[in-house]
Amino acid sequence: MAPLPPPELCDWLVLAVLLVSAVLSDPLSRCPLECRCDAGFIYCNDRGLTAAPRSLPPDASVLYLQNNRIPNSGLPAELRGRTSLRVVYLYGNQLDQFPSELPPSLRELHLQDNNIRSLPRAALARLPLLEKLHLDDNSVSTASIEEDAFRDSRRLKLLFLSRNHLSSIPSGLPPALEELRVDDNRISTVPEHAFRGLASLRRLVMDGNLLANQRIADDAFARLGNLTELSLVRNSLLAPPANLPAPRLQRLYLQENAIGHVPRDALRGMRRLERLDLSSNNLTSLPTGLFRDLDSLSQLLLRSNPWACGCGLLWLRDWVRAASASVNVRGLMCQSPDRVRGMAIKDITTEIDGCLDQQQPLPAPPGPAATQLPPPQGSLFTLKSKRPGVRMPGPDSPSDGPSLSLTVKPVSPDSIQVSWRAAAPRASSFRLSWLRLGASPAVGSITETLVQGDRREYLLTALEPQSTYIICVGGMQPHDETPVCAKTATSEAGGGEEERGSPLDRDSDRLGVLSLAGVIGGATALVSLLLIFSIFCWYSHKSGLLLSSGPQASYSRGSRKGDDYLEAGTKKDNSILEVRGPGLQMTALNNQQPPREEYVIHTIFPSNGTSLYRGTHTVGYGSNRGYREGDIPDIDYYHT
């Protein structure tokens, strides 16, 4: 017989078993049934959830809840106590407020693609360790951000506010911020204090806004000494902003603006600049020595510009040839004169070398763009003190802006074609705005977009059918004239008429439509009457109302049909039930007296759904289904 284990060992074994059972039975330690768990990663995404799970494993560090249907009420209060969580993904849900039921241990929070409208300070204060906050594709406006909302977010390093409703840079941003994205908003002004206190900012993206040189303060970007990337794509700049931060800047993106002039010292001191993009602008020439300080430049993009390859670009051709080993230059293709159109400037030889035979001094004077006055830099206030000789267009001065004429045309129930004409051959850019009118002028919101100056038409999509819109087009510069507006409405069906149509033609069309509708309505009514009359005749024939002389008509045995009887379920099945008036009578066909016993009478209905006899229960019920709905059984028991 084996010796028994000591009592102390037994006690320890029992205690271990109890602990394991307690852990396994604890609901907070189990993975939620609707999720999948893997080493601290809880996958509850893309499951159509309307609420977050209340229980999570104790080692949960990353919670995936994106692409569900979770509203603010679907976040349980138990989440606050899950201090092991570090990252939460809540994008693509139905949140309309900044969530307040999150644990204070969060370092990263993804809330993009919701409908969050405000940023309260109290909600952000509950997340003191937050470092990355993604709020792209929401409805946050500058006015809805509470003052000092980020005061307690001292560790916040990344803030994404792309595609919201911002009209200016939010104030009071945390000083530890390193990356800020506010692209595709409605920001039109950058004051001098916009980035005050953001000495750690390294990446700034402001693409797709309404920025113009006159609305950017001279020193707005100068204080960002640690900035390594600046992106100002798809704005209305006529030149690079003044006083860009030079010491550490590595990437500068200025494509898709209206830049027609680059000052000679615009890139001065940018010795760490590696990538420069000036594509899709209005550049015809560049000043001599523009790239002299760009010691680290490795990629230069100059596509889609109307380059005029004359003597003014002789220095640029020589620079491209000398730097071809270290700099990748793309898009420097000549557009004029015609004899060199489509040629790369580095491949041109005799056409530009002829400038030396004419003994033109080097560097050669720039082309036609250099004879024009450079566009003003900085805000209107600093401009008057720095350049007193320049006369800015004002309300009293004659306007040089293009004279606009606007045409709108609905093309489908949810789209409108907008086209306009301008007297000037090319404007810097146009601002296109549209407003959907509601029951009162206060209903609706203005939507704006920026259109390049070489375009003359735009298609508005995703509009509300059968709605009235006011559409306006105007220039972007202060001296441009008042925007031109037009009013139109989306159609109920495809195809819309232009607003300029004649009222008489529209009235004629309405009369034609009404006449056609009358013909169709009359034909439909006639067909309906014929159909009703045919059904009545058929019903009457089947019921025998047209052929009988009264309700007491008796049936001849020689002319009986199968539909004229009620079948009796006798044992020998030798009796037929015959309808005689309102009563029910059993008649033996074989001259035998039926026995006194219990009969089961089944109600039988003809093929047209009507009953063969009429009683107190048959009114309004023409089918077996009707009897069931009237609480009338299908089988009635009678006793002889």
Look at residues 281, 218, 282 and name the one whose alpha carbon lies nearest to residue 245: 218
3-state SS, 277-341, equals ECCCCCCCCCCCCCCCCCCCCCEEECCCCCEECCHHHHHHHHHHHHCCCCCEEECCEEEECHHHC
Give the C-alpha separation, 21 to 29, whole Å: 12
Looking at mean pLDDT, say which of 18-27, 70-79, 432-441, 542-551 comes out highest.
Answer: 70-79
Would you state the pLDDT for residue 371? 38
pLDDT at 357 over 80: no
User: In this structure, what token pair is assigned to residue 111?
Assistant: 């809330």
- pLDDT tens digits, 114-149: 999 999 999 999 999 999 999 999 999 999 999 899
pLDDT at 390 over 70: no
Would you state the pLDDT for residue 433? 82
Look at residues 353, 361, 262 and name the one whose alpha carbon lies nearest to residue 309: 353
- Banded pLDDT at 191 (limits 50, 70, 90): very high
Would you state the pLDDT for residue 342? 87
- Banded pLDDT at 401 (limits 50, 70, 90): very low
Q: Out of 60-69, 525-534, 627-636, pick the least confident.
A: 627-636
pLDDT at 632 over 60: no
Domain ranges of the chain: 404-438+446-489
User: In this structure, what token pair is assigned to residue 201?
Assistant: 């900012």
pLDDT at 60 over 90: yes
Give all strands of the β-sheet with 575-580 in edge-to-edge order: 566-567, 575-580, 583-588
Mean pLDDT of 187-199: 93
- pLDDT tens digits, 284-318: 999 999 999 999 999 999 999 999 988 888 899 89
- Banded pLDDT at 438 (limits 50, 70, 90): low
Give the C-alpha separation, 560 to 164, whole Å: 83
Would you state the pLDDT for residue 524? 84
Would you state the pLDDT for residue 456? 80
- Banded pLDDT at 99 (limits 50, 70, 90): very high
Cis, bond preceding 57 (omega within 30 deg of 0): no
Higher model confidence: residue 546 or residue 249?
249
Looking at mean pLDDT, say which of 7-11, 26-30, 183-187, 193-197 comes out highest.
Answer: 183-187
Give the C-alpha separation, 36 to 76, whole Å: 19
Tell whether domain 404-438+446-489 is in CATH 3.40.930.10.
Answer: no
Give the C-alpha separation, 270 to 175, whole Å: 24
Would you state the pLDDT for residue 369? 40
pLDDT at 23 over 90: no
Q: Out of 35-44, 73-82, 235-244, 538-547, pick the least confident.
A: 538-547
Would you state the pLDDT for residue 520? 82
Would you state the pLDDT for residue 393? 41
3-state SS, 515-556, equals HHHHHHHHHHHHHHHHHHHHHHHHHHHHHCCCCCCCCCCCCC
Would you state the pLDDT for residue 455? 77
- Banded pLDDT at 429 (limits 50, 70, 90): confident
- pLDDT tens digits, 453-512: 777 888 888 788 888 888 988 876 655 657 888 889 888 754 444 444 444 444 545 555
- pLDDT tens digits, 233-279: 999 999 999 999 988 999 999 999 999 999 999 999 999 999 999 99
Would you state the pLDDT for residue 414? 81
Percent of the chain clearing pLDDT 70 (strictly above): 65
Which residues have a Cβ under 8 Å from the Cβ of 563 and sit 6 or more positions away? Answer: 606, 607, 612
Give the C-alpha separation, 571 to 554, whole Å: 27
- pLDDT tens digits, 80-89: 999 999 999 9
Higher model confidence: residue 65 or residue 614?
65
Mean pLDDT of 347-355: 67
- Crossing angle of helices 350-357 and 314-322, in 10° steps, is 120
Would you state the pLDDT for residue 611? 41
Which residues have a Cβ under 8 Å from the Cβ of 199 and sit 6 or more positions away? Answer: 175, 223, 224, 225, 226
Would you state the pLDDT for residue 544? 55
DSSP 61: -
Give the C-alpha separation, 98 to 100, whole Å: 6
Q: For the chain, give the mean pLDDT.
A: 75
pLDDT at 367 over 60: no
For residue 110, count other CB atoms closer than 10 A to its CB: 21
Percent of the chain clearing pLDDT 90 (strictly above): 43
- Banded pLDDT at 5 (limits 50, 70, 90): low
Would you state the pLDDT for residue 594? 52
3-state SS, 9-50, equals HHHHHHHHHHHHHHHHHCHHHCCCCCCEEECCEEECCCCCCC
User: In this structure, what token pair is assigned to residue 640?
Assistant: 């002889």
Would you state the pLDDT for residue 572? 38
